């Protein structure tokens, strides 16, 4: 390949990051036309010559991109592309899997620590200017050291959570994964996570999730949203959890049966939940989860730090180099699995 390669960037990258991408090769003709919102349809941005597109969602009118060979997504998940026509083509789709490990791994522990040490209750007391007489009783917390954490979904985020748990808090780690096959070629930041999968002391298959959660003091959901994972945590699993257990969801809302979760939190099947993802987003204003003392709600922002675009550009640059030299791309989505 010696021809110029037209690349369309639709996300809002800084000029400095675009310049870094251009230094990958003079053969890249990088043009940016930014969307106003992530999910905006980008068909109108195409001139028909694009060979590579960087975007949140590919154009639905693929007839406007007859030369398109590869789409690099700005997200790790692809559940927003259900029923997208791109799955019926041979266009390669890659994700930003791997760049979320550090920010979301840290965020998961922000939720765990906040719930374990009753920080939300302290904030409410602070707002009222109240110093309770029985503060040792009502604010007695849960220590993490020596506790068992269960990680459902052992991708890049799950592996970083495991690393922090084991080496930061001396926790016992157990994990669930879909297959025992070696992971696909994924992007991994140096020194991040558990690339060899050596940290978990015990492994569970998807049909053993009830057994997994029954062992744990904390359960973290880090699996993709697929037909197999939908409502994987329902009444049976929530009833099997320990009464002092905490549930953290930094994945997708569809993984949990909402009604069962509300009941579990109300009736004390579990002690609390930190939720960053919901079946319906934004979470409806009247939803019961808003008003629960043992719940922390965050509006799907676990990956939101000032370094997101920097990490995304570093990954894209690596994939561009691979594309130019004929090496396999990182984070290729299997069209049949769609994750």
What is the full DSSP assignment across 220-269? EE-----TTTTT-B-HHHHHHS-TT-EEEE-S-GGGB-HHHHHHHHHHTS
Mean of the pLDDT values across residues 198-221? Answer: 97
The count of domains in the chain is 2
Mean of the pLDDT values across residues 98-127? Answer: 97
Instruction: Give the distance, in angstroms, between the CA of residue 85 and the centroid of all CA atoms in the same chain.
Output: 24
Instruction: Give the distance, in angstroms, between the CA of residue 28 and the centroid of all CA atoms in the same chain.
Output: 30
Q: Is residue 332 part of a domain?
A: no
Angle at the Cα of 249 (from 333 to 173), degrees rounded to 5? 90
Mean of the pLDDT values across residues 162-178? Answer: 96
Tell me what percent of the residues of the chain surpass a pLDDT of 70: 97
Least confident among 2-11, 174-183, 248-257, 328-337: 174-183
Residues 46 and 67 in one domain: yes
Q: For residue 179, what pLDDT is reported?
A: 73
Active site residue 287: no
Q: For residue 110, what pLDDT is reported?
A: 98
Q: Within 13 Å, how many C-alpha atoms sit on residue 309's CB side?
A: 15
Query: Would you place residue 29 in the very low, low, confident or very high pLDDT band (cuts 50, 70, 90)?
Result: very high
Residues 46 and 108 in one domain: no
Q: Is residue 333 part of a domain?
A: no
pLDDT of 117 > 90? The answer is yes
Q: For residue 2, what pLDDT is reported?
A: 63
CA distances from 286 to 48, 291, 292 (A): 46, 9, 12
Residues 237 and 266 in one domain: yes
* Cα(113)–Cα(79) distance, integer angstroms: 29
* Packed helices 101-116 and 119-128: angle between N→C axes, nearest 10 degrees: 60
Which residues constitute the domain of residue 95? 5-99+306-325
Residues 78 and 12 in one domain: yes
pLDDT of 183 > 70? The answer is no
pLDDT of 219 > 50? The answer is yes
Q: Is residue 45 part of a domain?
A: yes
Q: Is residue 187 part of a domain?
A: yes
Q: Is residue 334 part of a domain?
A: no
Residues 57 and 122 in one domain: no
Residues 210 and 287 in one domain: yes
Structure tokens at 33: 């036309």
Q: For residue 294, what pLDDT is reported?
A: 96
Q: Is residue 331 part of a domain?
A: no
Q: Is residue 58 part of a domain?
A: yes
Residues 139 and 279 in one domain: yes
Q: For residue 185, what pLDDT is reported?
A: 85
pLDDT of 182 > 90? The answer is no
8 Å CB contact between 68 and 53: yes
Q: For residue 96, what pLDDT is reported?
A: 97
The catalytic position among 22, 117, 287, 300 is: 300
Note the helical H segments in the chain: 15-22, 101-116, 119-128, 135-138, 156-169, 209-215, 235-240, 258-267, 308-325
Residues 161 and 198 in one domain: yes
Active site residue 300: yes
Mean of the pLDDT values across residues 238-265? Answer: 98
Residues 66 and 118 in one domain: no
Structure tokens at 109: 């522990």
Computed over every residue of the chain, the mean pLDDT equals 95
CB count within 10 Å of CB 303 equals 21
The catalytic position among 143, 201, 236, 281 is: 281
Active site residue 252: yes
80, 255, 246: which is closest to 153 by C-alpha? 255
Residues 188 and 133 in one domain: yes
Query: Would you place residue 169 in the very low, low, confident or very high pLDDT band (cuts 50, 70, 90)?
Result: very high
Those residues whose C-beta lies under 8 Å from the C-beta of residue 212, and which sit 6 or more positions away, are 150, 152, 174, 176, 204, 219
The residue written with tokens 């009736």 in the block is 267
The catalytic position among 74, 252, 254, 311 is: 252
Q: For residue 178, what pLDDT is reported?
A: 82
Residues 56 and 168 in one domain: no
Residues 17 and 161 in one domain: no
Query: Would you place residue 1 in the very low, low, confident or very high pLDDT band (cuts 50, 70, 90)?
Result: very low
Q: For residue 246, what pLDDT is reported?
A: 98
Q: What CATH number is given to the structural domain containing 28?
A: 3.40.50.720
CB count within 10 Å of CB 275 equals 22
pLDDT of 315 > 80? The answer is yes
Q: What strands, in cross-sheet order, belong to the sheet with 92-94? A: 28-32, 5-9, 52-55, 70-73, 92-94
Q: Is the dihedral of CA 161, 162, 167, 171 positive or negative?
A: positive
Mean of the pLDDT values across residues 199-226? Answer: 96
8 Å CB contact between 120 and 131: no
């Amino acid at each position: 390949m010696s021809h110029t390669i037209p690349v369309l960037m639709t996300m809002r990258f800084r000029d400095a990051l675009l310049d870094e991408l251009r230094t990958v090769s003079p053969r890249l003709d990088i043009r940016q036309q930014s969307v106003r919102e992530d999910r905006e349809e980008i068909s109108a941005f195409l001139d028909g010559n694009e060979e590579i597109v960087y975007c949140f969602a590919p154009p639905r009118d693929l007839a406007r991109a007859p030369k398109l060979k590869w789409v690099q997504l700005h997200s790790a998940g692809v559940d927003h592309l259900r029923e997208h026509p791109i799955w019926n083509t041979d266009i390669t789709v890659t994700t930003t899997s791997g760049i979320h490990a550090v920010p979301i791994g840290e965020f998961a522990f922000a939720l765990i620590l906040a719930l374990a040490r009753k920080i939300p209750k302290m904030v409410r007391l602070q707002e009222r200017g109240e110093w309770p007489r029985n503060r040792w009783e009502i604010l007695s917390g849960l220590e993490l050291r020596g506790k068992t954490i269960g990680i459902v979904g052992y991708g890049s985020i799950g592996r970083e959570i495991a690393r922090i748990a084991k080496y930061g808090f001396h926790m016992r780690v157990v994990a669930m994964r879909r297959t025992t096959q070696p992971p696909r070629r994924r992007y991994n930041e140096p020194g991040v996570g558990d690339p060899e999968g050596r940290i978990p002391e015990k492994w569970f298959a998807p049909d053993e999730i009830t057994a997994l959660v029954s062992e744990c003091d904390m359960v973290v959901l880090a699996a993709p949203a697929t037909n197999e994972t939908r409502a994987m945590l329902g009444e049976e699993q929530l009833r099997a959890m320990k009464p002092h257990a905490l549930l953290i969801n930094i994945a997708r809302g569809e993984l949990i049966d909402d009604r069962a979760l509300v009941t579990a939190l109300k009736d004390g099947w579990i002690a609390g939940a930190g939720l960053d993802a919901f079946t319906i987003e934004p979470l409806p204003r009247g939803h019961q989860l808003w008003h629960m003392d043992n719940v922390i709600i965050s509006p799907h922002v676990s990956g939101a730090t000032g370094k997101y675009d920097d990490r995304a550009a570093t990954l894209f640059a690596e994939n561009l180099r691979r594309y130019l030299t004929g090496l396999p791309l990182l984070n290729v989505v299997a069209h049949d699995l769609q994750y």
